[in-house]
Amino acid sequence: MTGPLLAIESSCDDTACALLAPDGAVLAESVLTQTGHAALGGVVPEIAARAHLAALPGLIEATLAQAGVTLENVSAFAASTGPGLIGGLIVGSTLAKGLALARGKPFIAVNHIEAHALTPRLPRRTADNAPSGSAPSGSLAFPYLVLLVSGGHCQCVAVEGIGRYRRLGGTIDDAAGEAFDKVAKLLGLGWPGGPALERLAMEGDPRAYALPRPLMGRPGCDFSFSGLKTAVARLVAPYGNAALPRRAAADIAASFQLCVADLMADRARNALALLPDATALVVAGGVAANATLRARLEAVAAEHALPFVAPPLRLCTDNAVMVGWAALETLRARAEAGLGPPDDIAVAPRPRWPLDDVRPPGEARTGEAQR
């Protein structure tokens, strides 16, 4: 591949486009966050899909103009093809496929979770705010442990190579980001709740309430947040429809945040015991932006004499840079195996696409056209 790769992300409510050079350098990137969902209390899939459809053509043009290139210069196209909201996935992947077909260029279907998991391997110049820890971005060797924490996903994954992922544990009910949003709503903070709850927690006492820590201290790497959310609801219930006093709300927010951080640290320790040759402890996904969570996980990494790596804040939430990088990693791995680009035009968007279904280079990718 001699020219840049154009990547699209549209799996939820962020419409994003990025242009990456073959070595991973970001030539241009654009992100448009849909704000209309806040008044509705959460992402409405149909509205999100229509917003992606309206925004993407202009966003692509703006990204190309920012880099000073044209579509004729693009050597490959990629898009999030799952998991996520099916409407948005269809919009983004179909547009990328159309551009690829019209120009006779490869299309790479990217697993959204895989993209998060590979973000820590981005070149340092791409992650312009150096990540936490001492491991330089781009030199991170396999295998490493990723805690993927976002609004839709919460799992511990052993990243053993490109297309080689071993799920060590995951949530049995709510995802961490979902729990943050639900608790924020109980506290009257609106949506999205994670950043607002973190700001409020800075005013509170994290030891004010003894909230339950489901599964903590037990074997395994699974998570559970439903009982924690219910415990917060019981604290709020006596206030009825009245607004919570600021102090009480701040104490609840701080106590909840510490509880989640404790749970994450406990599960990370168990996961590292299952991956004794891990080269680093990594946190990725939208909730990875939470400073309290980062601090607790950094302490766990230090206990195991491991680097702690977290993407810069702008790459924690959904973005097209990570999609493009995952596609480049796939292309590079296939080239090293003596293979050409994947034939992913026939890969259909999937609302559910477990990492277990992602295949390493040389093995047929899910939905790949048979030759």
Crossing angle, helix 246-274 and helix 176-186, to 10 degrees? 170
Does residue 129 have a known ligand-binding role?
no
Q: Are 143 and 159 in contact (CB under 8 A)?
A: yes
Residue 151 annotated in ligand binding: yes
112 annotated among ligand-binding-site residues: yes
Cα 201 to Cα 356: distance, rounded to the nearest angstrom: 36
- 198 annotated as a binding-site residue: yes
- Cα distance between residue 282 and residue 18, in whole Å: 23
Task: Give the CA distances from residue 154 to residues 65, 143, 285, 371, in Å, rounded to whole numbers and listed in that order.
Answer: 37, 19, 9, 36
Q: Is 318 annotated as a binding residue?
A: yes
Cα Rg of the chain (Å, integer): 21
Closest CA to 147 of 158, 155, 136, 159: 155
Task: Measure the CA–CA gap between 29 and 18, rounded to whole angstroms.
Answer: 4
Q: Can the peptide bond before residue 195 be classed as cis, meaning omega within 30 degrees of 0?
A: no
Q: Strand locations in 119-191, DSSP E? A: 144-149, 154-161, 164-170
Q: How far apart are the first and last CA of the chain?
A: 22
Residue 152 tokens read as: 């839709």
Question: Contact 74/5 with Cβ under 8 angstroms?
Answer: yes
Is 181 marked as binding a ligand? yes
- Numbered residues of the known binding site for substrate: 148-152, 181, 194, 198, 290
- Numbered residues of the known binding site for Fe cation: 112, 116, 318
- Numbered residues of the known binding site: 112, 116, 148-152, 181, 194, 198, 290, 318
